Amino acid sequence: SDLLAVSMKLKASQLVGKLFMQGAVMTLNDLLDDETVVQLLGHEFGCQIEIDTTEETRLKVTGETVDEEIAKTYAGELIIRAPVVTFMGHVDHGKTSLIDRIRRSNVAATEAGAITQHIGAFQCGTAVGPITILDTPGHEAFTAMRARGAHVTDVVVLVIAGDEGIRTQTVEAISHAKAAEVSILVAINKCDKPNFNAENVYRQLAELDLLPEAWGGSVITVNCSAATGEGVPELLEMIALQAEVLELKANPQARARGTVLESEMHKGLGAVATVLVQNGTLRHGDSFVFDHLYGRVKTMQDEFGKNLKEAGPATPVAITGLSGLPAAGSEFIVVENEKEAREIAEGRKIGVNQAHLQKKRPFTMEKFMEESVQTGQKQLNLILRADVQGSLEALKNSLSKISSDKARLEILFAGVGAVSESDVELAMASRAIIIGFHTQIESHAEALIKQSKVQVRLHDIIYHAIDDVRALLTGKLEKVAQERTVGAAEIRQVFRASQLGKIAGCHVSEGVIHRNNKVRLMRQGKVIWQGTISSLRRESEDVREVKSGFECGIVLDGRPDIEEGDRLEAFEIIYLSQEL
């Protein structure tokens, strides 16, 4: 805002003050990243603002998300792609074992005895088509990626041990999957165990709003065992069927883009990254950028270590030829050539835009979703933490009463215990605010909170928590613009100046007329023109304002036709908060 103030020839404090009046709390050094706000400010202060986004656009390569890009593609160019699957669930319920079982059966089907390399993801064939499986199970990794702006997963397999049933991390996983709006499929694992009880799991699922098919609902469940392999082919088939319903498509003709799943430094090879191609086809020799790094595909291998010439949509590959080690969740995109890739990467590294890009990117999809919903209803996402189940329920109950038809509360997750790192990740990924009631923040979550600027609000009195949430929700409502008349002047004489057009010789009769006010030109009680003042003078001096009882000369922007006896009413626009 400081820079903007300088270019508008105003004091930064004026800008910050105006922003505050409109409900946006900012400091001098905050980045004004909302174009509408900037335009509005320009309007308020009577400046024309053109935003130069060429450099930013160049560094971003594209402003579209993968989904937006695919949605814009001509249908004839799209092909069906494999679904990308993440396994989630409580610790020890068998996520890793299931993935291993699938991977081993896959090896048997392709090259007997082939040794697979761990590359973070792999594709397996089923009778109903290929499936891509991410090899980092757990909702923490899933949401950490999402918080970085990466939307990788299409289907979540929720693994529940049938002998234990739903546990705390199962509930967390469900919240994370729901917040990401991905399909959930349930694998009830360990069906080889004597105390396996699917009915118990159905009941628990039903209580969490996931009514299983077996009970007349729509949630698909499969009984399986990672130990014996029983039910695993059915599980894969169900995933593939689910994918058919989702109609996952991509354009293999496009230049490739996707997400880094994993990366490591390798002796001899340098940085190796496993990337998932999400749209387009990645080819040997392609140049690309990710974050502030770049590269040129030197080698590209699948999980069997087989060299590939190209990799199409939904294919995970390990690539080398990178300028550094990219973080998991970084986006990569292919550009024209290596020179361009290097320039963009360097531009990102030095530019202010770097911060800008990182700040903005995580929210692009959410923003898109918000816009595409277009219900006009505002939503506040919350994550709740409380010391005990009883107070959590009390808080949830009270909060459920403050939604209105203008703004809605969405509780993404409510859990007992301290605010955890995974809560912060979820808040980042879903633009949520965390409310802690009679609880604290886990020590290792502190750093992430600082870095991510996620809001965590701790309360010990329930009414304070509720008032706080109500205020946050009210803050979500758009401000209502209202005109407030601040002064009026009678036009007593009209002068003609060749350069300026007509000058209105006025007597200010009420209030104050300020140079930045908007004005209405009134004739016989009717508004005949409305606009802004281009010059306000007193005794041939430019002035900022003229008080009632004084004479002044006013030139109006756009040179409307003024006459003696007309009246000018000056007004400003104020923004009022709405009631819920």
Q: Which residues bind ligand GDP (CB under 6 A)?
A: 89, 91-97, 137, 189-190, 192-193, 225-227
Pairing label, strands 221-223, 480-497 = unpaired
Q: Cα separations (Å) of 297 from 15, 289, 336, 420?
A: 47, 11, 13, 38
Q: Is 15 helix (H, G, I), strand (E, B) or coil?
A: helix
Assign residue 120 a region: left if phi > 0, alpha if psi is -120 to 50, beta otherwise? left
Residue closer to ligand GDP by CB (options 133, 395) is: 133
Residue environment code for 70-93, b if the CB has 16+ CB neighbours within 10 A, otherwise e? beeeeeeebeebbbbbbbbbbeeb
Residue closer to ligand GDP by CB (options 261, 293) is: 261
Residue closer to ligand GDP by CB (options 103, 479) is: 103
The single-letter DSSP state of residue 163 is: T
* Least spacing, CB of residue 193 vs ligand GDP, in Å: 5
* Least spacing, CB of residue 138 vs ligand GDP, in Å: 8
Residue closer to ligand GDP by CB (options 93, 257) is: 93
Residue closer to ligand GDP by CB (options 92, 563) is: 92
* Least spacing, CB of residue 129 vs ligand GDP, in Å: 25
Residue closer to ligand GDP by CB (options 101, 502) is: 101
Token pair of 364, please?
A: 């692009």
Residue closer to ligand GDP by CB (options 157, 506) is: 157
Note the residue count of the chain.
Answer: 580
Q: What one-character-per-residue DSSP string does 93-145 give?
A: SSHHHHHHHHHHHHHHHHSTTPPPP--SEEEEEETTEEEEEES--SHHHHHHH
Residue closer to ligand GDP by CB (options 161, 271) is: 161
Sheet holding 84-89, edge to edge: 121-126, 129-134, 84-89, 155-161, 183-189, 221-223
Closest CA to 358 of 38, 33, 28, 70: 33
Integer Cα distance of 435 and 455 in angstroms = 8
Integer Cα distance of 497 and 278 in angstroms = 64
* Least spacing, CB of residue 189 vs ligand GDP, in Å: 5
* Least spacing, CB of residue 137 vs ligand GDP, in Å: 6
Integer Cα distance of 122 and 115 in angstroms = 13
* Least spacing, CB of residue 174 vs ligand GDP, in Å: 15
**Contact of 455 with 441, CB cutoff 8 Å:** no
Residue closer to ligand GDP by CB (options 198, 473) is: 198
* Least spacing, CB of residue 175 vs ligand GDP, in Å: 18
* Least spacing, CB of residue 86 vs ligand GDP, in Å: 12
482 CB-contact burial (10 Å; exposed 0-12 / middle 13-18 / buried 19+): exposed
* Least spacing, CB of residue 157 vs ligand GDP, in Å: 11
Residue closer to ligand GDP by CB (options 29, 195) is: 195
* Least spacing, CB of residue 31 vs ligand GDP, in Å: 41
CB atoms within 10 A of CB 11: 11
